[in-house]
Amino acid sequence: MKFGVIGSGSWATALAKILTDNGNTINWWIRNTDTISYMQTRRHNPNYASSAYFNTQQLQLSNDIQQVVLKSDVLVIAVPSAFAEDVLKQLPSNSFEGKKIISAIKGILPTDNLLLNDYLQKNFHVSVENYFTVLGPCHAEEVASEKLSYLTFSGIDESMTTIISKFFITDYLRTITNHDIIGVQYAAILKNIYALGAGIAHGLEYGDNFLSVYIANTADEMVTFLRKLVWSNEPVDEQRKINYAASVYLGDLLVTCYSLYSRNRTFGNMIGKGYSVKAAQFELNMIAEGYNASKCIFKANQNVQANIPIATFIYQILWEHLPAKEGFKEIEKLLV
């Protein structure tokens, strides 16, 4: 298989490192030509996960996304959800014919509130059988420094999911597979919202005792949403096989809420300290997926009708100007 990577942020860079460390030569779409020139000379990404160095003979770098797609059998899409549509609309509608797609996106595409698989099916006729996700508690910075991490690959075609996952196994990376492509994507979206809330709590000077109770309750709320959403589409006996305490669900929630690498937690911390959303975005200078995700989940839940009050209060703090302190006073009353 010939892999292509679309995106040049920290997560795209980490995934490119995993693939090349496994001996693969990859096609890699990077928008900025200056970044391409820098990497060809200095062998690392100057802007993200800069401690990850590459053998440039394994990199086919290009700012021509059509050529990267054309030359690849499997495309890893790793751009922030807010920018994915702008990136992909450069491609003809038949571009992904015969290709496998791996989504490394942890968000909803905002224009029509779609998961990437729904967007690709609508605009590029990509069947769900050729769509896979890679998610889990795996900060790019730790991958760059080769600290042991675990990733979950999800896909309907279990055999192909296993084959693809093996390309990412290294001394510092273990892989797991499951079939819950919808559930894992929504879990990744929700955990970013809850991590942003954990940051707000920290900024408001709540302590670790409160935070542990808050995270336990968000885990329960996340499962409530996933069961209401996914069980409506699959037989209950199939969904009961899903272990929501596994790393791609609970593990990712925990690390995103607690880790100092978490940009959502950092963004929330600034909100809790009194920054405006615009000021926090400017200060962070990176995408905090939980901000847009909170609005997308609020809209999505109008159809799902799950009981997710914590996520709703975080949405109100970020989008409806509810003071953070008032919002968390209400969240306090919910926790058990």
pLDDT tens for 167-205 read 999 999 999 999 999 999 999 999 999 999 999 999 999
Q: What is the pTM of this model?
A: 0.92
pLDDT in tens, 103-125: 999 889 988 899 999 999 999 99
Sole residue written with tokens 């590029």: 124
What are the angstrom distances between the C-alpha of 1 and each of 130, 166, 327?
A: 14, 12, 49
309 in the same domain as 222: yes
One domain, residues 171 and 207: no
Domain boundary among 161, 179, 197: 179
Q: Which of 148, 179, 210 is the last residue of a domain?
A: 179
End-to-end, the C-alpha distance of the chain in Å comes to: 49
Q: Which of 146, 179, 212 is the last residue of a domain?
A: 179
Could you tell me the CA-to-CA distances from 148 to 4, 65, 138, 175 in Å, in that order?
24, 32, 9, 11
Residue 261 or 226, more confident: 226
What integer is the mean pLDDT of 131-157? Answer: 93
What is the CB neighbour count within 10 angstroms for residue 153? 26
Band the pLDDT of 238: cuts 50, 70, 90: low
Higher pLDDT, 263 or 184: 184
Position 235 confidence tier, pLDDT thresholds 50, 70, 90: low
Triad 38, 64, 151: Cα angle to 5°: 75
Higher pLDDT, 33 or 236: 33
Residue among 29, 25, 2 at smallest CA distance from 13: 29
Query: DSSP letter string over 289-315?
Result: HHHHHHHHHHHHHHHH----HHHHHHH
Mean per-residue pLDDT, 276-297: 86
Percent of the chain clearing pLDDT 70 (strictly above): 97
